[in-house]
Structure formats: structure tokens, C-alpha cells
Amino acid sequence: MFKALKEKLFSARKKLEHSLEEAPSEQAQTIPDSGGTDESPAQKTTDIPADQQKKATPRFTDKIVSFVRDREFIISEKDVSDILDELEMGLLESDVAFSVTEAILSRIKSDLTGSKRKIGTSVDSIVRDALSDALLSVLGEGVDICAFIRDHERPVKILFTGVNGTGKTTSIAKVARFLQKNGFSVVLGAGDTFRAGAIEQIDVHGERLGVKVIQHQEGSDPTAVLFDTVEYARAHKIDVVLGDTAGRFHNRANLMNQLAKIRRVINPDLIVYVDEAVAGNDAVIRAEEFAKSVGMDAIMLTKVDMDPKGGAAISVAYAVGKPLLFIGTGQGYDDVMAFNPRLVVAELLGDA
């Protein structure tokens, strides 16, 4: 995953390492001399009585000797600025949103400049840690969905929403499979009564997975469908309700009002916004609009395996201030991952 973004980060990492390796010798070359004389510290103390030499103030050349002996150098902004400018272009080319790019670069610069390092310490670890911390700062902590379900009153109600054509209904089936594998019972609510064929689609998924689907006829009130789904879950002690809804754009007032009614009646524990990673910056913009008009608690990105750039996955959580919950990585029911920021960063930096 994220081939292009990994290449940009790898290039920046190696160039930062090289720059920091070169920095000590450059700093040593810029240390001023002791006033234009070639005399050694030993020669300069010959005029001082022997009993006073130990009390003499250390000369500047003595400080240089101490500095070199300690072998400690300060990383300056000059050491990293050109490479960060190049990384900025690389991130933007990989569809990382501008605000996210700025946040990443600011964190790297803050972590590196002004810090000290001793000769012999691993430059690789210094750079790797700075990049890792910067990426984690925009990805956030993520959500342990299994722990979330265990900690909440049953049934846990998860409502899925998003725009048309992003694979929302199939994603719900993948999440159902994921939860089954983790020991939870699931019921599906066919709340997309607006799109022709949507009920049949989720019904097929339910049959293949062995999961009950609550459905009404096409065109019926989706709130009633999802209300019945929650009641079924309570009566049958089902752990999780996964509710489908019609795909919608934020500027469709009737569908937005419908969603607001569903939220009011069902009172979901999680609203998950679904979009596709291949949309790049458009996915980030749409998520921001949905967050303003409807609200969301978490995000699921589909088709991550088809997105070589990776910018949307890096950007969307930071842009809306909500965690990335799941990513879709293929066509099968098992091709879904609970999003783990640390594992993703390890992969991006070539450590996984």
C-alpha cells in the first residue's frame, strides 16, 4: 500500500540522514580560531608562573578541545530546511492535504532543529523517530473497535453513511465478517431503501455471511427499518447492529433531513463515514463537508489497495478530527483492516 508516499518518505529520510551526518564536520569548520595565533595552549601558558597555571581561565582553544571531546553537535534549521522543502512537494504530490502537510513538516522541524546529538549515535534512529512522531501526530490514536463494543451497552449501534458509489454496503458486510471473527454476533439493517437494488445487495451479503438482515420494502421509511433492527437485536441479545443508509451528498437537503431523523430515533453509538481512498483530496473535502453538516464519529476508507499515493489515508482523520476506523484492502469479505496508526507508520517508513 501507499507506494508513492513510501518512496517520498524514504527519499526524505535518507537525505535527512546524510545531512545530519555532514553537519558535525561543517560546524567544526565554522568554529573561529583563537585570535590569529598558531600558538598551542601549552605555549601560551609559559609566561604564567607554574603555581598559577592551574588557576588560569580556560582559553578558547581549550573549549574547542572540550567540544570535540564531547562530540556533541546542535542540529540547525539549515541542516534540514532544503530537504523539508522537497518533502513538502512530495507529500502534496501524494495527495496529502495542504493543512496536513504543514502539520507534518512543522512537527519534524520542531523535533529536529535545536536538538543535540553525539557523534556515534544513530542518525537513522533520530530521523526515523522524527518522521514517525510527525506522522502519528496527524493520524491520531485510532480506535480499538472490539474494546469499544465490549465497553458499551448491547446492542452497540453502528450507522454507516457516505456518498454514492464508494462501496458502503459491501464495507458493512466486511465489518460484519470482522466482528464475527472476533466473537461478536451481528445483525444488519437494510436502511438504504432509496437506491434500487440496495436491499437485495445487503440481503445477499447477509446470506453469504450467515447474518440476519432486517428489511422492509423499497421506498419505505429507513428510520422504521433501523428501529426494527435495533429491537430485533435487543430481543435476540445480538451484540452489534450495523445499519446501512442511502448514499447522499451533503447538499441534498431531503436526504440530510432523513439522516438527522435516523440519528434522533436510533441514537447510534458510532456514525461511520465511508469514502474511497482513490478519491484523494476529494475524499478529504467531502469528509469535511459531512462533518460540518451531519457529523461523524469515525471514518472508513475503501479501495486503499488501489490507491498508490496514500494521501487520503494520511489526511482524512486529521482534516475532520475523527479517527480512521477501518480500511478496505481488497474485494473479499476478509479484506478489511482495523486501522492501527503505528502499524501503518511502520509500513510507510519501511519497518514492516
**Residues 155 and 297 both lie in one domain:** yes
Residues 131, 251, single domain; the answer is no
Q: Are residues 165 and 183 in the same domain?
A: yes
Q: Which residues constitute the domain of residue 67?
A: 3-30+43-139
Q: Are residues 218 and 134 in the same domain?
A: no
- CA-CA distance, 62 to 45, in Å (whole number)? 12
* Chosen domain end from 139, 157, 186: 139
262 and 223 housed in the same domain: yes
Together in a domain, 101 and 166 = no
Give the CB-side neighbour count of residue 223, counting CA atoms within 13 A. 13
The reported pLDDT for the residue numbered 71 is 55
Q: Are 248 and 215 within one domain?
A: yes
Q: How many domains does the chain have?
A: 2
Residue 37 counted as domain residue: no
Domain-embedded: residue 112:
yes
pLDDT at 350: 81
Which of 119, 139, 159 is at the close of a domain? 139
232 and 337 share a domain? Answer: yes
Asked if 87 and 207 sit in the same domain, the reply is no
CATH number at 255 reads 3.40.50.300
- pLDDT for the residue numbered 278: 87
Spell 58-90 as b/e; 16+ CB within 10 A means b: eeebeebeeeeeeeebebeeebbeebbeebbeb
**Mean pLDDT per 10-residue interval, the chain, length 352 residues:** 86 85 54 48 51 51 43 72 91 91 93 68 79 92 92 96 87 97 97 88 96 93 96 98 84 72 93 90 86 86 87 88 92 93 89 55
How far from 227 is each of 124, 248, 266, 270, 339, CA to CA, in Å?
A: 55, 20, 6, 15, 29
The domain boundary residue, chosen from 121, 139, 157: 139
Cα Rg, the chain, nearest whole Å: 29
Q: Looking at residue 259, what is its pLDDT? A: 82
pLDDT score, position 202: 95
pLDDT of residue 42: 47
Has residue 321 been placed in a domain?
yes
Q: What pLDDT was estimated at residue 124? A: 79
Does 153 lie in the same domain as 130? no
**What is the reported pTM?**
0.80
- Within 8 A by CB and 6+ apart from 221, the residues are 193
> Residue for cell digits 518533502?
87
Same domain (yes/no): 89, 160: no
